[in-house]
Structure 1
Amino acid sequence: MKSLQRRLFLAFILIMGITLAGLASVLGQTFPVLQDQERKAESEAVARHLDEMGIEMDSTALEELSRKMAEDGSGVAPARFMRLIVIVFAVAFIVTVIVFHRLTERYIRPIDLVTDTTMELAKGNYTARAGWAAPGIQIGLVTAVNALARNLQEMESMRETEAERLETLETLIANMGSGLLMIGRNSEISMANSFFLDQVGQTEEGLIGSPYKAAWLPEALVTLIDTVSVKEKPVTEQIDIRTDSGNRTMAVYSAPVIDKHGGWLGIVVVMHDISELIRLERVRKDFVANVSHELRTPITSIRGFSETLMDGAIHDEEAAMQFLEIIHGESVRLETLIEDLLDLSKIEKEGYTLRLQSVSVQDVIERSIRSVSGRIKNREMTIESHCPAGLTVKGDPERLVQILVNLLANAVSYSKPGTPIRVVASVSGGMASIAVADKGIGIPTADLPRLFERFYRVDRARSRDSGGTGLGLSIVKHLVDLHGGTIFVESEPGKGSTFTVNIPLSHS
Structure 2
Amino acid sequence: MIPFADLLWVAWYAAVAAAVVAVVGLVLLHALRGRSMAVQLAVVGVATVLATVSGIVVITLMMYLDAHDRSVALAVVIAAGTVAMGVSVLLGRRLVAANRMLVDAVRADPYRPPEGRLPAELAELARELDAAYGRLAAAHEREQALEASRRELVAWVSHDLRTPLAGMRAMAEALEDEVVSDPETVRAYHGRIRQEIDRLTGMVDDLFELSRIHAGALRLYRRRVGLDDLVAEAVEGTEPLARAKGVQLNGRAREGLPLEVDAAELGRALRNLVVNAIRHTPSDGTVEVVGGVEDGMACVTVSDACGGIPEDDLPRVFDVAFRGETARTPGGGGAGLGLAIARGIVEAHAGKIGVTNAETGCRFMIRLPLAP
TM-score, L = length of structure 1: 0.51
Aligned counterparts of 1:193 and 1:452: Cα–Cα separation in 2: 41
Query: Relative to structure 1, is the Cα distance of residues 394 and 193 closer, same or farther in structure 2, using a 3 angstrom cutoff?
Result: farther
1:336 aligns with one of 171, 196, 202: 202
SS in 2 for 1:337: helix
TM-aligned CA distance change 1:376 to 1:194, over 3 Å: farther
**Other-structure match for 2:257:** 391
Q: How does 1:12-411 map to 2 (within 5 A)?
A: 114-115=13-14, 117-118=16-17, 121=18, 126=19, 146=20, 148-155=21-28, 190-192=101-103, 202-205=113-116, 274-411=140-277
Identity %: 27
Shift of 1:194: 7.8
- Taking the aligned partners of 1:195 and 1:383, their CA distance within structure 2 comes to 59
Residues 306 and 249 (structure 1), Cα distance of their counterparts in 2 relative to 1, 3 Å cut: farther
- Where does residue 416 of structure 1 map in the other structure? 282
Give yes or no for the alignment of 1:476 onto 2:342: yes
Distance 1:454 1:151 in 2: 67
Q: Which amino acid aligns with 1:377?
A: R
Give the match for residue 368 of structure 2: 503
Q: Return the alpha-carbon distance in structure 1 between the equivalents of residues 340 and 326 of structure 2.
A: 16
1-structure distance, mates of 2:332, 2:186: 24
Q: Which runs of 5+ in 1 are unaligned?
A: 8-108, 127-145, 167-185, 209-246, 251-271
d(CA) in 1 for partners of 2:298 and 2:103?
47
In structure 2, how many angstroms separate the alpha carbons of the residues matched to 1:394 and 1:339? 25
- For residue 281 of structure 1, give the secondary structure of its aligned residue in structure 2: helix
- Structure 1 residue 376, shift from structure 2 partner: 1.6
Farther off after superposition, 480-489 or 333-342: 333-342
Question: After the TM superposition, which of the residue ranges 273-282 and 350-359 deviates more from structure 2?
Answer: 273-282
CA contact (8 A) 1:394 1:503 kept: no
Which residue identity is paired with 1:152? G
CA contact (8 A) 1:336 1:469 kept: no
Choose from 422, 433, 440 the match for 2:306. 440
Give 3-state SS (helix, strand or coil) of 1:353's partner.
Answer: coil
Q: Which residue of 2 aligns with 1:426?
A: 292
For 2:131, the equivalent position in structure 1 comes to none
Note if contact 1:192-1:204 (Cα within 8 Å) is conserved in structure 2: no
Q: In the TM superposition, what are the counterparts of 1:440-459 in structure 2 within 5 Å?
A: 440-459=306-325
More strand per residue: 1
What is the alpha-carbon distance in structure 1 between the residues aligned to residue 213 and residue 139 of structure 2?
A: 28
- Identify if the C-alpha distance between structure 1 residues 154 and 392 changes in structure 2 by more than 3 Å, giving closer, same or farther: same
Task: Give the letter aligned to residue 442 of structure 1.
Answer: G
TM-align CA RMSD: 4.1
C-alpha deviation, 1:422, in angstroms: 1.0
Q: C-alpha displacement at 1:305, in angstroms?
A: 2.2
Q: Distance in 2 between matches of 1:311 and 1:323?
A: 13
* Cα displacement string for residues 371-393 of structure 1 (whole angstroms, at most 9, x for unaligned residues): 11211221222222232221122
The structure-2 alpha-carbon separation of the partners of 1:314 and 1:419, relative to structure 1 and needing over 3 Å to count, comes to same
Residues 308/459 of structure 1: CA separation in 2 closer, same or farther (3 Å cut): farther
Q: 1:357 to 1:318 in 2, by over 3 A?
A: closer
Partners in 2 of 1:320 and 1:456 — Cα distance?
A: 37
**Cα distance in 2, alignment partners of residues 410 and 189 from structure 1:** 58
Q: CA deviation at 1:312?
A: 3.2
Deviations along 1:101-130, one digit per CA (max 9) or x if unpaired, are: xxxxxxxx9999655534xx2xxxx3xxxx
Q: 1:180-214, CA deviations, whole angstroms, 9 ceiling, x for partnerless residues?
A: xxxxxx9x973248877995555532899xxxxxx
Q: Per the alignment, in what secondary structure is the counterpart of residue 229 of structure 2?
A: helix
Is contact 1:484–1:503 with CA below 8 Å preserved after alignment? Answer: yes
1:295: how far off?
1.5
One-letter code of the match for 1:154?
A: V
Rounded to whole Å, the distance in 2 between the matches of 1:404 and 1:278 is 29
**Contact 1:432–1:503 under 8 Å retained in 2:** yes
CA–CA distance in 2 between the matches of 1:340 and 1:506? 28
Question: Which structure 2 segments of 5+ residues have no match?
Answer: 41-96, 120-133
Q: Secondary structure at the match of 1:477?
A: helix
For residues 136 and 215 of structure 2, the distance between their equivalents in structure 1, rounded to whole angstroms, comes to 28
Q: What is the Cα deviation at residue 149 of structure 1?
A: 4.7
